[in-house]
Amino acid sequence: MGLKPTPYGTAIPFEEKELKFVGKNPTERPDAIEKVTGRARYAADYSLPGQLFGKVLRSPHAHANILSIDTSAAEALPGVKAVVTMDDFPDLEVEIAAAGELMVNFRDVTRNVMAREKVLYDGHPLAAVAATSNAIAKRALKLIKVEYEVLPHVIDVVEAMQPDAPILHEDQFTKGVDPKPEKPSNIATRIESKLGNSEEGFKKADVIIERHFNTKAAHQGYIEPHACVANYTEGGYAEVWTSTQGHFVFRSQIAKILKMDLAKITVTPAELGGGFGGKNTVYLEPLAIVLSKKSRHPVKMVMTRDEVFRATGPTSGTNTKVKIGATKDGKITGAQAELNYQSGAFAGSSLSMAAVTVFTRYDIENILVIGHDVTCNRPKVAAYRAPGAPMIAFGVESVIDELAEKLEIDPIEFRLTNAAKEGTQTHFGPKLGPIGFVETLEAAKASEHMKMPLGPNQGRGIATGFWFTIGNETSSTLNIAEDGTASFVYGTVDVAGGSRAVFTQIVAEELGIPLESIRVVQSNTTSLGFNFTTAGSRGTAAGSMAAVKASRDAVARMCDIAAKIWDVDIDEVAWEDGHARPAGANVGDFDPLSVADLAKKAAYYGGTIAGHAELNVVGGGPGFGTHIIDVEVDKGTGAVKVLRYSVIQDAGKAVFPDYVKAQFHGGAVQGIGMALNEEYIYDENGIMENPGFLDYRMPVASDVPNIDTIIVEVPNPNHPYGVRGIGEVPIIPPLAAIANAIHDATGIRLQDHPMSPPKVLKAMSEL
Amino acid sequence: MRYEAPTSVEAATELLAGGKPEARVLAGGTDILVQMHMDAIAPELLVDIKNISEMRQIESLDDGYRFGAAVTGVELMDHANFCRTWPGVMDGVKLIGSLQVRGRATVAGNVCNASPAADSVPALIAAGAIATIAGPNGRRDIPVEDIGTGPGKTSLENGEILVSFFLAKARPSSGGAYQRFTPRTEMDIAIVGVGIDLTLGDDGVCTHARVALGAVAEKALLVEEAAATLIGTKVDEQALDNLAAAASAACRPIDDKRGTKEYRIEVAGVLARRVAAIALSRAKSAREK
Amino acid sequence: MSKHHITTTINGDEVDFLCETSQTLLDVLRDELHLTGTKEGCATGDCGACSVSLDGVLVCSCLVLGVETGGKKIETIEGMADGDELHPLQRKFVEHVALQCGICTPGLLVAARSLLAKNPDPTEEEVRFGLAGNLCRCTGYQNIVNAVLDAAAEMRGA
């Protein structure tokens, strides 16, 4: 989650009030018209005069020593203006930093951007070329001669953990083990956290169920490939237009990798064509800058889809164990989980995040969670929407379902009996504040969906999910123009297209001016202070906190101007409905002053009106959701058809309700895709076999039904409008919900993801 | 890379025969453009056949239908009479790629790309489609099942080109169908494909049948043993059980990223039953007309 | 190697361009003509983000060579609105929150227009199958389907 908890953070408390804009669907969405007309500019749409085209040479091996790289023939090809390899990048020491929900180590980041001693996965970059056309750049790549010494490789997480497995990093000794191991290991880190005594808890149980689960790596699947345009100026400045969820974090990473001063780098986030956590880390940007520096031309780089699959993302493949015990009357007495998570070529998976979500939907006194972060010859994993949580929820919610069945208790009732609520002690430290989990379960129980009859070969499944809302650095500026219109400059990248509408609503609500009077603008890295990446469901929650702060700052300034105009004390001015009004003994003495009135006079009374927020936001409200799914299983082929789906989730406060529902739809469908078909497939040489949309099999429109939604609103006390993050929770329950529904339809319990037709058919035949 | 768009079959075969070995026929382009993008092929000459009028025709003849090698999937889908006459063939054509892909893709390309999983191929084989091939030594007609010989390989000789397909007038009381199994409902590659055509006698007994399987061997298979399970029966449960067993027995699949051997074998039988049932109902409704 | 000189009509305007044989229509639109509304998601015909209409037929522009388009009529997202007047599909996409990140939106709109030209009164299932060539990762498709159905109703005058 990036930062250490700080006592200096900002949380603006929730205030119940009548709302004019927040909670109502705006008719205007600032980003929408540009998007439907094709005029929105994504990174690959940018071009600079004189620009070259950059391409990357990638490893064809899963694991190999690099013996030599000869670029001379490529450099000699007419049209080639620059070639770079590891020699063009400084080596970096170990240094850990936050990059979204996952942490990065700069020693590894630079090696992932450009391989140094070894290539560690199929697709690992080794060299890059800038040429006057894409075709020439591609021809040049073929002229680069690389000598490899191919090494044994390891793809599977369990195999990678074995003592005799091929080792990726000879200098990696398992952390979290005492004493420090003497032999290097692919297990980068072991973590353990506990509450009470789980073994004692199991002694009180009447039924104990223990199951093992496996999940395959899945990609974020954004439709926009990574792309950037970079320009290194004669003055030694770097300008980059790129596809990013966090331009300030990209700037930090570029500065480290290229050993540049931060102030010499300007990163402009282009319209983002989907990220879902996968665009929190640099891939192309440092290469493009160095190619630009070497060639003295701007350089544009766009990945192919094949490169996106082979070298970016995905989420961890996992191997997990879940053991839960409960009494006859349905009270969980103890729970254990072991999480073995692939991190890919370099340490640092979503393990630590996943580990704290394992049982954090239930009030359990005795918990033990053990986890391993495991390197293997795959692309370095990136965050993917609630990173790590869907995979362990698959295990936990499957076992919960099996327990409920064994105990002959309705699965929703079983969860209600054990549901976490305000005051529940988590196994990772804090007690939960006010949350809406019980409310989602109650709403699910009462939903129309639960009343729908099921036909033959059909089944219903329930599962739940929990995710954090992070805060972190958030800066914004509200500028009131001379005519009283406002521009709000924000720095939390609008990753899904909803932020601009939401910020407009919040500023309108705070200032009391119409939506049409507000323009919302995404900053580059020079026009605002640092903003952390849009990750951890923070976009609306933290971004709107900064909008509130900046608005209130501007309102205070406007009240001050009014006080000066009226020559009264500032306490005698109130802000109401877009106007400064006399509020003390002076009520009735003066006409209210509108924003436009005040803006016109601002210069004389001290200067332009603006409001600022430079916050470290804290107090994010965790989100909980319950999903219901109906499936039909084809007994002949094992195909699973999703018939009906409901998402019930606590949004705290839905600022833009239709958009909240749209996030529920999208998250659920990503989860359905992951559950049924999506997976990374490798051949025996460790080469990815399905690096394209055809064989990666993301859901198409005809694969999924309508998704019903119920928004529950239990306000977050630490947000002025009660907002909770909502983007990530919806992808957590689907795997388990589908597994539970398949069980209800067929009697089989699947523990291997994806739950593809061959597996379903085989399991049915073994019943 | 050279691009030529000849206007006659002869000119096309001349370019292909006289050209370099890297010459490729460009019909819809939906396979070769992908192969070029992935650097799987690097042809030196593309021979675009879309300007050859003979290859653009869909002709209703006295003895059947003939359609050219450059006719797209969408053009067939928009041809109401062809669709009515050959629903089984169209079952296959409608599954090639997406609507966008079918806007360019041709049946001839689907056949000559020689993927064992091509959706139109089992449907064409079941329908008894004949392909006309032109080459330096003139023209010849061969059944579609004799074109593909293995993944990406055909029996066409250097300089030869597929000109058109001929579908002989359907027998009365006959019906055809094709289905495939894919994990996604659309935009997917068959794990198993089954095409069946059958003809009923006046007494409802099957007098003629052809069964073709896709994606279960190195090429699409015409399975006579499977057809034999239907002929002489009323396509009842027993016959369908026998058909399923024969279809499964004919499979010689591989394990690959898209499916396992055992899964393909089992599902071939399951699908064969379902496809036979559709073909049967189409044959019955043909008889009623 | 000399380039091909091609003359086409794009969104009603006669347009000339030069291209190499290997350049796809998508490459030409984006790199040569700077019509960047048409997006590249995969370049292999599997995502539909580059959908355009070619002589009235919906195609992936990544699966057409520039050199094949001489004398043809091409319609892209840039030609969909009539001046200030959005096409009903564009308007309904906005109203129904049928787009999030928006990268698939141009392709979906072009595909949806083609769908409604052939079938002005589609069922929900027909819309879902009709748009199956267009991947969207954000929306889960539901709002897109609703927007298309609503636009269809409006365009029929229903």
- For residue B258, the model assigns a pLDDT of 84
Q: What is the CATH number of domain B50-168?
A: 3.30.465.10
Query: What is the total count of domains within chain A?
Result: 2
Same domain, A592 and A460: no
Q: Whole-angstrom Cα distance, residue B143 to residue B125?
A: 8
Q: Using the 8-state DSSP alphabet, how is residue B141 labeled?
A: E
Kindly list the strands in the beta sheet with A145-150, ordered across the sheet, starting from the edge strand earlier in the chain. A118-119, A64-70, A145-150
- For residue A287, the model assigns a pLDDT of 98
* Boundary of a domain, candidates A597, A617, A637: A617
Tokens of B48: 């675009």
Above 50 in pLDDT, residue A626?
A: yes
- For residue A205, the model assigns a pLDDT of 98
Residues A573, A576, A580, A581, CA torsion sign? negative
Above 90 in pLDDT, residue A249?
A: yes
**CATH code, A413:** 3.30.365.10
Same domain, A640 and A612: no
* Boundary of a domain, candidates A583, A617, A651: A617
pLDDT band, residue A3 (cuts 50/70/90): very low
Does A637 contact chain B (CB < 8 Å)? yes
Same domain, A625 and A612: no
Q: What is the CATH number of domain C4-79?
A: 3.10.20.30
SS3 A508: helix
Same domain, A603 and A516: yes
- For residue A385, the model assigns a pLDDT of 97
pLDDT band, residue A1 (cuts 50/70/90): very low
- For residue A41, the model assigns a pLDDT of 98
Candidate CATH numbers 1.10.260.30, 3.30.390.50, 1.20.120.1770, 3.30.750.210; the one for domain B174-288: 3.30.390.50
CA distance C129 to chain A (A): 5
Amino acid at B204: G
The helix (run of H) or strand (run of E) holding residue A545 is helix A538-566
Above 90 in pLDDT, residue C2?
A: no
Question: Where do the domains of chain C lie?
Answer: 4-79, 88-156
Does C51 contact chain A (CB < 8 Å)? no
Q: Whole-angstrom Cα distance, residue A560 to residue A305?
A: 55
Q: Which residues of B touch A638 (CB under 8 A)?
A: 263
* Boundary of a domain, candidates A617, A647, A680: A617
Whether B174-288 and B50-168 are alike in CATH topology: the answer is no
- For residue A2, the model assigns a pLDDT of 42
The domain of A612 spans 32-40+471-617
Chain B residue with CA closest to C64: the answer is: B29
Same domain, A592 and A656: no
- For residue A28, the model assigns a pLDDT of 77
pLDDT digits (tens, 9 = 90+) for C53-97: 999 999 999 999 999 999 999 999 999 999 999 999 999 999 999
* ipTM higher than threshold 0.95: yes
- For residue A688, the model assigns a pLDDT of 98
Q: Using the 8-state DSSP alphabet, how is residue B144 labeled?
A: G
CA distance A464 to chain B (A): 26
Select from B187, B240, B255 the residue whose CB has the most chain A CBs within 10 Å, as the one to mutate to test that interface. Answer: B187
- For residue A98, the model assigns a pLDDT of 84
CB nearest A702 (choices: B186, B263, B266): B186
Chain C residue with CA closest to A709: the answer is: C142
CA angle A291, A295, A299 (to 5 degrees): 50
Confirm whether A9 is domain-assigned.
no
- For residue A102, the model assigns a pLDDT of 84
Same domain, A422 and A550: no
Q: Which residues of A touch B189 (CB under 8 A)?
A: 694-695
Spell out the SS3 assignment of A212-277. EEEECCCCCCCCCCCEEEEEECCCCCEEEEECCCCHHHHHHHHHHHHCCCHHHEEEEECECCCCCC
pLDDT band, residue B22 (cuts 50/70/90): confident
Between B128 and A27, the higher pLDDT residue: B128
* Architecture of the domain made up of C88-156: Orthogonal Bundle (1.10)
- For residue B21, the model assigns a pLDDT of 65
Same domain, A524 and A556: yes
Same domain, A518 and A580: yes
A223 vs C125: CB contact, 8 Å cut-off? no
C63 vs B46: CB contact, 8 Å cut-off? no
pLDDT, chain A, mean:
96
Q: Whole-angstrom Cα distance, residue A519 to residue A487?
A: 5
Confirm whether A146 is domain-assigned.
no
Cα→Cα distances B75→A322, A550, B90, C65, C124, Å? 55, 59, 11, 20, 24
pLDDT digits (tens, 9 = 90+) for A93-114: 999 988 877 888 999 999 999 9
Question: Where do the domains of chain B lie?
Answer: 50-168, 174-288
CB nearest B3 (choices: C4, C44, C46): C4
pLDDT digits (tens, 9 = 90+) for A444-493: 999 999 999 999 999 999 999 999 999 999 999 999 999 999 999 999 99
Cα→Cα distances A72→A128, A457, A574, A696, B261, Å? 13, 64, 72, 37, 47
Cα→Cα distances A428→A90, A162, A353, A623, Å? 38, 28, 11, 17
SS3 A323: strand
Residues A191, A196, A199, A202, CA torsion sign? negative
Same domain, A511 and A581: yes
Does C67 contact chain B (CB < 8 Å)? yes
CA distance B269 to chain A (A): 9
- For residue B289, the model assigns a pLDDT of 76
pLDDT digits (tens, 9 = 90+) for A701-712: 999 999 999 999
Confirm whether A587 is domain-assigned.
yes
Scanning B175-204 for CB atoms below 8 A from A yields 181, 183-189, 191
pLDDT, chain B, mean:
95
CB nearest C21 (choices: B3, B37, B74): B3
pLDDT digits (tens, 9 = 90+) for B236-275: 999 999 999 999 999 999 888 888 999 999 999 999 999 9
B183 vs A306: CB contact, 8 Å cut-off? no
Same domain, A415 and A544: no
Nearest to B87 by CA among B213, B197, B215: B197
CA angle A462, A467, A468 (to 5 degrees): 160
Above 90 in pLDDT, residue B20?
A: no
Q: Which residues of C touch B103 (CB under 8 A)?
A: 54, 57-59
